[in-house]
Structure 1
Amino acid sequence: MPQLPAPAYPADVLARLETDGREIVARYPDSRSALLPLLHLVQSEEGHVTRTGMAFCAEFLGLTTAEVNAVATFYSMYRRKPSGDYQVGVCTNTLCAVMGGDQIFDELKEHLGVGNGETTEDGKVTLEHIECNAACDFAPVVMVNWEFFDNQTPASAKALVDDLRADRPVEPTRGARLCTFKDTARILAGFPDQRPGAVEESGGAGAASLAGLRLAKGESGPTRVVTQRSQSGDEAPGSPADKGAEHLSANDAGERTAASDPANPAEPVHKEGDK
């Protein structure tokens, strides 16, 4: 049975998208190169890439719908079905998984009552497991609309999603303040970030990421504090939890072997010359 044509955008939406689309295309010597940001643009309109959005991209760029569909289905940042205001991604790649990411993901599924890629009934949160986001030194990491929430525990992750669903303000560990997924998609389309102070807050690498660079340059830094966790996965009392603290990975301690290996008790590593 042939598929019905995609419904058209309302006239006012179409006019707005065409204006923004011309601005995007003007950035490139070949209009075809504008497909990725144009897909982000239509995603910012409806919260996911619809058939209508793909048809608009194809017509606007002179491509076939098959060409647009091939790109939209290849990249995971393009959603193909309605999703929440907040995309909560739990890294379950190797290091984050070992450091507790798998447990966080499992407990969030139970806490929210959803599976991977599913959205809560209130339309606030879509939960998914994600691959490495190059933040291994802050494992385990949770991302919300691509903003970092470092050194998470099951308890802190559940508190985070509860705050999101209750519209309480949350602050990423690093980077700019949080915005909705639609707003994030528009920023990824290449339009100015309208969040107050976003440029100043965008920041850079955290202290843990820069430790190796300092050592390579022969620089010495302050004694590093390792975040300790209890058996339940929660941070121990007195752990640095505020944004201004030096957030370091719990696997950053100098040990000869894993403390979890009873056959090889861990012991501190002492450099030559240490007392």
Structure 2
Amino acid sequence: MHRSAPRLSRILACAAVPVMLVVAGCSSDSGDDKKGSDSSASSPSGKKTEPTVEPAKYDTLPADTCKSIARKTTESLVPKAKVKSGTAGKSNNTETRSSCAWNGLDDNGVKGSQYRWLDVGFLRFDSDQALGSGAKRATDEYTKQVAKAQAAEGAKKVSAAPADGIGEQATSVTYDLSKTGEDFEYATVVARTANVVVTLTYNGAGYAGAKTPSAADILKGAQKAAKEAVAAVGAEAPAAEKPSATPSDEASAKTSDKASGKTSSKTSSKAPTKSSTKTSTKS
């Protein structure tokens, strides 16, 4: 009896070992599955995702660059323009780069003549994953254009100052320049609106004894034209982007119809008149 007790203990101990190993094995497998599940959920493709750049605000430029400045303005700044409608510059892609210029000589005979030149250029930048957002790229170009204006060859009395109220940021650069034997007054306005850079230059000179235009007048004219050019960017938005009527607007319309003795159903059932059709076509 004393000999059988130790032997029985050894048998039971050996029988328990496989059970413990099995339990340990199951526990290990369960942990591996969980780890693998977490790993695949955090990165299904196994690749790191790159941050996206901000989309560009404008995807096109004014359809007709020469109309970006009002005809009334161009005629006042260049009274005797050779081409009153302006001369468009050549471009391989007018959706990213375009320009227009006006120039003319107002000949007053023995009283002398006044020469004026006006030109405007647009540059648009798309957002690019490698290069950055359109707004950032436009900001970089804006800085370059301001520096370029300040470094005009032969320029004297160069001065640069912020131009308030023109786009998101704008700088006016003024300077004197002598050419063709006359003294010219120059003003260049560089402005940025979102992802578009507008550069406008206006200059003038007096010929045959006529006085040189004042720097203040040239600057004033340049800023006025630049403001109009910047406003033209994005002005031709599709009708779908225009705000639609709100519920309160519709309620007001129904109230107005009832007050006039008409129901909204009768109004909607009528066919559009010729005049309303023409109006909607034009818009």
- Band of TM-score, shorter chain: under 0.3
Pick the structure with greater CA Rg: 2
Q: Which has the higher strand share?
A: 2
Relative to the length of structure 2, the TM-score reads 0.21
Relative to the length of structure 1, the TM-score reads 0.21
